[in-house]
Every structure is written in C-alpha cells, then in structure tokens.
Amino acid sequence: MYHSACERTNNGGKYTIEPSFYIHVKNESLLYCLVFKSGTTTWFYNINRWAGYSEEQILDDKTDNFMLARQKYPWENPRVLLTSMKNTHSFIVVRDPFERLISAYEERLLGQLHPYFKKLSHQIYKRYHNDGNEYGIPTFQDFARYVVDQSRNDQPSDLHWRPINDLCTPCLARYDSIIKMETFGPELAYMANRTQLQDKIKSVHMNHSRRDSLKRLIEKYFSQLTKQQYDDLYNVYRIDFELFQYSAEKYLKFIKQS
C-alpha cells in the first residue's frame, strides 16, 4: 500500500525505528505501535485489561495508560523489535493527519484537562499575541504556527500531534495490519478474525463528544489559515498524507483567500 510512497520519500527520511512507542503483548502475539489520538483508547483498554488491570483504573481520566502498560510490557530495543515483527502480528492505527490535529487541538489545548496542556496552551498564546495577557487561549491558527515552528527548529513535537512517520516509521517497520480510524470498526473486526482474538478484543469509546460536526470544524479552523500557513502545515504531515493515501482537498477549499 505505501511502498511506492516510501521509495519516493526515501523511507520517510528515517534510518532507524523508534522503540519507545511499541508495546509487545507476547501472550497474544501482538505488536502494537501507538499513534496517539488514533484509537489508543480502545487498544489501551484491551492491552491493560489483558495485563490484569481493572476496568475502573483503565477508564479513569487520571490514569496514564501508556505508563500502566509499560509496567507490564517492557521496552524492547530496535533489534529485538525487528525480530519480534517477524513472528507476531504487528499493527498500527492511522488517521487523517489534519483530523488528528483538530482532535488534539480540541481535546488538549481547548479542553485543558491536564495541567501540562493548560500551561502549554498559555505559552502558545503568548508566543503569538503581544497583548500582555498571560492566560489566553490559542486559536487554531496559533496552534498551526506553533506546530510548523517546532518542526522547522527540529524540536520534537508533542506525541498527540507528532507525525505518524516519526512515531512508527512505517517504511522501516513491517506491519501486518494498518487500520484506518475512518473505518475502525470493520477493520478491527477483520484483524480480530485474522489473529483469532474475536472474543478478546472489545471496542471502547471514551472521547468527549464534539459540539460540531467534523465538516463544521474543518471550516471553522482551516478558514483561519493563509495559503502559506496551510502549505507549511501540510509540509509537516506530507509524508503521513502520502504513506496512508489521505487527501488534503477537503481542507484546501476553506483556506483564507488573500
């Protein structure tokens, strides 16, 4: 599916896999690479349930499910991981890069449920508004500029909006299943059948309900961007768009016409 994109982009510009984001569930012969804001609620729920944690603990807002999983499924070095990929079912869940960005902006920077994101939100606001306010809420345009600036300065971006190519290096790793968020239900069922885990995998939704439809959000947020800002932002996620065959057309039509 994505091999020609890997050739075109010189393996997504990567030379080594990044082991921090893999969880190897040996008992179930699964190797999962985490893409935050892309089906992690369902997978953490299952993986941590298999590890023996209680449903209350897993679904508690205050639980860091990644750290919880790590206690039971330790980190593996890149060489071991590449070997593990040969004899386990390895998979990732991907999502339209800009939908993922909108979701991260809404939940993390506007939601501000976590002190870290509350602080980051104010920092981003101050960076692009010289109005003496310490505690402003950044617009989506501010957020887009911030994402681009971080990328240009080679600063690692937050995991919730870091490109999938940076997290799971699909050109270097071998994945048996690439599940798309947009068709999550049927693709999850297909994978569960392939791995004989039909009775063990349960789909969960915890994400806070949106006030607006996705189409409305795309218009609301992307109409804040100039063509140049849009191009710069697209460039950050260009490899994700190409690898997973997503189109950015639906965003372009809302861009500010200068």
- Splitting the chain (258 residues) into consecutive groups of 10 residues, what average pLDDT does each group show? 86 92 95 94 94 94 92 94 93 97 94 88 94 89 98 93 96 94 93 93 72 90 97 97 95 87
pLDDT the model gives residue 209? 58
Structural domain harbouring 250: 1-254
DSSP output for 29-91? TEEEE--TTSSHHHHHHHHHHHTT--HHHHH-TT--HHHHHHHHS----HHHHHHHHHHSEEE
Cβ contacts of 200 within 8 Å, gap of 6 or more = 28, 46, 50, 192
pLDDT tens for residues 81-135?
A: 999 999 899 999 999 999 999 999 999 999 877 899 999 999 999 999 988 888 8
pLDDT the model gives residue 257? 78
Number of domains in the chain: 1
Cα(12)–Cα(172) distance, rounded to whole angstroms? 9
pLDDT the model gives residue 134? 80
Tell me, rounded to whole angstroms, the distance of Cα 6 from its chain centroid. 19
246 close to 8: Cβ distance less than 8 angstroms: no
Residue 60 φ/ψ, nearest 5 degrees: -70, 130
Amino acid identity for residue 1 in this structure: M
Q: Write down the residue that tokens 């690439």 correspond to.
A: 178
pLDDT the model gives residue 207? 58
CA dihedral of 201, 2, 151, 96, whole degrees rounded to 10:
-50
**Alpha-carbon torsion 154, 158, 160, 165, what sign?**
positive
- The 8 Å CB, 24+ separation contacts for 234-237 are 235/148, 235/151, 236/147, 236/148, 236/151, 236/163, 237/97, 237/98, 237/101, 237/163
pLDDT the model gives residue 206? 64
- Residue 3, both tokens: 């091999």
